[in-house]
């Protein structure tokens, strides 16, 4: 396989590569790889059998879409016995879809070889601050910043001392000084080194500087007969700590709460093949269900007929008519919060045909309508199982706020989400929504407040509404809860 020395390319090509890689936050070497991959993927004609390697030796080409690594780590391996555990750490990080680029100190190379590290990380390994090839594009700066996190494992007493005092006389310490990323240290050393006053001072300084620590653990040392605090954490512990920093856990302010949501239209049968419906898509209610589930709630979604996939992790009851919807809503009680976002038909056909209605000489069959049960009012006025927070939706085409305030009082719910569904807004069936949250404040003599939100996607409206619900029910905000 030919190798390419970037330094020897034409100046124009080098300049192009340097600019393109800087723009894409990649090293020049990675950029060349991306360009080659794009070139091959963009080929219209298949590779000829003549140029293709034998079938059994073709490694599966990673799919670019959806398969890109989600996070990247620069792993600095220091010169300690525990360096062997870093080989496993590389695997553990890659299992978590973390791209790993490794830097070995001079001492680390006494314990593990760059070849082994490179084979496991599938990347070239960096060892030298004064490497012309990687310094061509300011390699140590890129290693310091082209990542989401820097992990030092094992973090030797020497590396910690250098960090605490701002040294930069080799590649590892220069990266650690030049970075603006979070640093996770996995110290590993003899207990006497760990407890030495100098190490304690350095550690205290590093903690003040915001460095995060995993371990060290207590246990047996490599040195025969020695034990104490100083063992490097296991690879899996370090990978878990790294993942917490890379992908902080999503707050779950609604954990332990049961949320009942309705969504979509209802279909009110005229005869076995015809029905009365409305233009509701169910998107808003489904988005609320997904947001509540993401906030940790147990979610029961009662949905009319929609063309949407059930949200993951949500119990979905599919119904057709308003009466079926009410039945499922009742069955789902008790709940802590009920959000009625469905566009329930106000009326149904009283004289529903048992057989398909036929055209007759007598003219059009008269359709008699009767009122459907009012789900929002029924649940809001329940004496026993009324959820502590009941939220209705008011879809209006005129006098939006006034009508919504009247609805809040008439139905007996706590909040109304009012939205203008006149055709010009495109809300019905569309992806965006402009809503006003109208709420009754029990602590202020049932004072009504109107909170008008800017135009948002239905997902954003859902997240905002769930945040308000969480604040009201638990006092926790989505940002602060954990």
Ligand X SMILES: Cc1cc2nc3c(=O)[nH]c(=O)nc-3n(C[C@H](O)[C@H](O)[C@H](O)COP(=O)(O)O)c2cc1C
Interaction site with ligand X (CB under 6 A): 78-82, 105, 107-108, 154, 156-159, 188-189, 193
What is the nearest approach in angstroms of ligand X to the Cβ of residue 190? 6
Nearest CB to ligand X, comparing residues 108 and 427: 108
Rounded-to-integer distance, Cα 171 and Cα 192, Å: 27
Nearest CB to ligand X, comparing residues 172 and 391: 172
Closest CA to 185 of 140, 238, 120, 243: 238
- Strand order of the β-sheet with 337-340 is 315-318, 298-303, 258-263, 337-340, 389-396, 415-420, 435-441, 447-452
Nearest CB to ligand X, comparing residues 230 and 387: 230
Rounded-to-integer distance, Cα 372 and Cα 24, Å: 58
What is the nearest approach in angstroms of ligand X to the Cβ of residue 79? 3
Nearest CB to ligand X, comparing residues 206 and 390: 206
DSSP 16-55: HHHHHHHHTT--HHHHHHHHHHHHHHT-SSPPPTTTSPPG
Is 129 annotated among the ligand-binding residues?
A: no
Is 305 annotated among the ligand-binding residues?
A: no
Is 260 annotated among the ligand-binding residues?
A: no
Is 374 annotated among the ligand-binding residues?
A: yes
Q: Annotated catalytic residue: which of 190, 278, 372, 433? A: 278
Is 407 annotated among the ligand-binding residues?
A: yes
449: β partners: 439
Concerning whether 202 is annotated as a catalytic residue, the answer is no
Is 136 annotated among the ligand-binding residues?
A: no
Rounded-to-integer distance, Cα 210 and Cα 236, Å: 23
Whole-angstrom CA distances from 40 to 71, 122, 338 are 25, 20, 53
What is the nearest approach in angstroms of ligand X to the Cβ of residue 127? 11
CA-based radius of gyration for the chain? 31
The burial of 1, by beta-carbon neighbours within 10 Å (0-12 exposed, 13-18 middle, 19 or more buried), is given as exposed
Nearest CB to ligand X, comparing residues 221 and 367: 221
What is the nearest approach in angstroms of ligand X to the Cβ of residue 96? 25
Q: Which residues contact 3 (CB under 8 A, 6 or more apart)?
A: none
What is the nearest approach in angstroms of ligand X to the Cβ of residue 170? 6
Active site residues: 278
**Binding-site annotation: residue ranges for CTP:** 346, 356, 373-376, 393, 407, 411
**Binding-site annotation: residue ranges:** 346, 356, 373-376, 393, 407, 411
């Amino acid at each position: 396989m030919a190798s390419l020395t970037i330094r020897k390319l034409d100046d124009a090509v080098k300049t192009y590569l340097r600019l393109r890689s800087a723009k894409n936050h990649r090293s020049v070497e990675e950029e060349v790889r991306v360009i080659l991959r794009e070139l091959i993927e963009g080929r219209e004609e298949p590779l000829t059998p003549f140029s293709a390697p034998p079938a059994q030796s073709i490694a599966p080409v990673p799919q670019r879409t959806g398969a890109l690594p989600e996070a990247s780590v620069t792993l600095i391996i220091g010169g300690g016995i525990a360096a062997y555990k870093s080989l496993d750490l590389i695997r553990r990080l890659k299992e978590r879809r973390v791209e790993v680029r490794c830097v070995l100190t001079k001492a680390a190379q006494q314990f593990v070889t760059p070849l082994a590290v490179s084979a496991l990380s599938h990347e070239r390994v960096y060892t030298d601050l004064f490497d012309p090839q990687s310094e061509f594009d300011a390699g140590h700066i890129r290693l310091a910043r082209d990542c989401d996190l820097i992990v030092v494992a094992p973090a030797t007493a020497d590396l910690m001392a250098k960090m605490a005092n701002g040294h930069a006389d080799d590649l590892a310490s220069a990266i650690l000084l030049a970075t603006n990323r979070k640093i996770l240290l996995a110290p590993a050393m003899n207990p006497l080194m760990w407890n030495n006053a100098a190490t304690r001072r350095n550690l205290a300084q590093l903690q003040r500087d915001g460095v995060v620590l995993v371990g060290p653990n207590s246990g047996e040392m490599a040195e025969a007969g020695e034990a104490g605090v100083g063992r490097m954490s296991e690879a899996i512990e370090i990978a878990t700590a790294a993942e917490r920093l890379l992908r902080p856990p999503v707050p779950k302010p609604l954990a332990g709460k049961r949320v009942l949501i309705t969504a979509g239209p209802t279909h009110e049968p005229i005869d076995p093949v015809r029905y009365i419906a409305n233009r509701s898509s169910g998107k808003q209610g489904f988005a609320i269900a997904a947001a509540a589930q993401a906030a940790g709630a147990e979610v029961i979604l009662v949905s009319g007929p929609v063309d949407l996939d059930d949200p993951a992790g949500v119990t979905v009851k599919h119904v057709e008519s308003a009466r079926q919807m009410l039945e499922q809503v009742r069955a789902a009680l008790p709940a802590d919060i009920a959000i009625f976002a469905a566009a329930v038909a106000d009326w149904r056909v009283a004289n529903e045909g048992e057989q398909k209605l036929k055209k007759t000489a007598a003219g059009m069959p008269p359709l008699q309508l009767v009122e459907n049960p009012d789900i929002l009012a029924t649940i809001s006025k329940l004496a026993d199982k009324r959820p502590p927070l009941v939220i209705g939706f008011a879809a209006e085409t005129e006098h939006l706020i006034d009508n919504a305030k009247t609805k809040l009082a008439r139905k007996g719910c706590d909040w109304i989400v009012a939205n203008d569904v006149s055709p010009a807004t495109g809300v019905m069936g569309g992806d965006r929504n402009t809503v006003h949250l109208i709420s009754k404040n029990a602590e202020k003599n049932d004072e009504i407040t109107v909170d008008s939100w800017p135009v948002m996607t239905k997902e954003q409206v859902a997240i905002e509404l769930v945040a308000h619900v969480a604040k009201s029910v638990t006092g926790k905000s989505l940002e602060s809860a954990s």
